[in-house]
Amino acid sequence: MKLDIDTLEWGQSEMEISGDLSLELGEGCPQSVQVEGALAVDNLENRFHLKGNVKATCETQCGRCLETFTFAWKAPVEIMILRNIDRGEDQGDTLVLHQSRGEVDLADAITECVSLAYPLTTFCREDCKGLCPTCGIDRNKQSCDCKEEDIDPRWAALDNL
């Protein structure tokens, strides 16, 4: 995931992104993430603007049923590389890298974008039924006779009106 700014063609081009990144997504979260995608590259001589989306895939644990599954998510990436410019104008949320020549290693910047786009909770599927809070069985695979006691207190309050 390197971009050589010495040989990069003038104007617009495209850069393929593909490889493995190591991410720290917190306790019990994946370390190795595969990424693939393409970034639109705009070479403005001393500024190099990269923008696009990468698809990230990793093994993770479902937040409801705790099964391990392959999770994929999309991460927007926007990076500005500045050559011989100490300080650009405010770039907002764009990651800014400074390098005057040679190959720019984008792995850290892309790792940051991919980490930021990782959701707080991951589910193996939208309608995962999760584990029974009473007996602990996986309700996607078995059913049990436990009573559902998780009535939302806001609705319970409405019942009393």
Residues that bind Zn ion (CB under 5 A): 62, 64-65, 124, 128, 132, 134-135, 144, 146
Contacts of 128 (CB under 8 A, 6+ apart): 62, 64, 65, 140
Considering the complex, state which of residue 54 and residue 62 has its C-beta at the smaller distance from Zn ion. Answer: 62
Report residue 57 as tokens.
């895939």
Report residue 43 as tokens.
């070479």
Q: How far apart are CA 54 and CA 16, in angstroms?
A: 10
Query: Taking the complex as a whole, how short is the minimal distance between the CB of residue 136 and Zn ion, in angstroms?
Result: 7
Query: Taking the complex as a whole, how short is the minimal distance between the CB of residue 120 and Zn ion, in angstroms?
Result: 15
Report residue 39 as tokens.
């970034």
Considering the complex, state which of residue 78 and residue 138 has its C-beta at the smaller distance from Zn ion. Answer: 138
Considering the complex, state which of residue 2 and residue 129 has its C-beta at the smaller distance from Zn ion. Answer: 129
Query: Taking the complex as a whole, how short is the minimal distance between the CB of residue 71 and Zn ion, in angstroms?
Result: 11
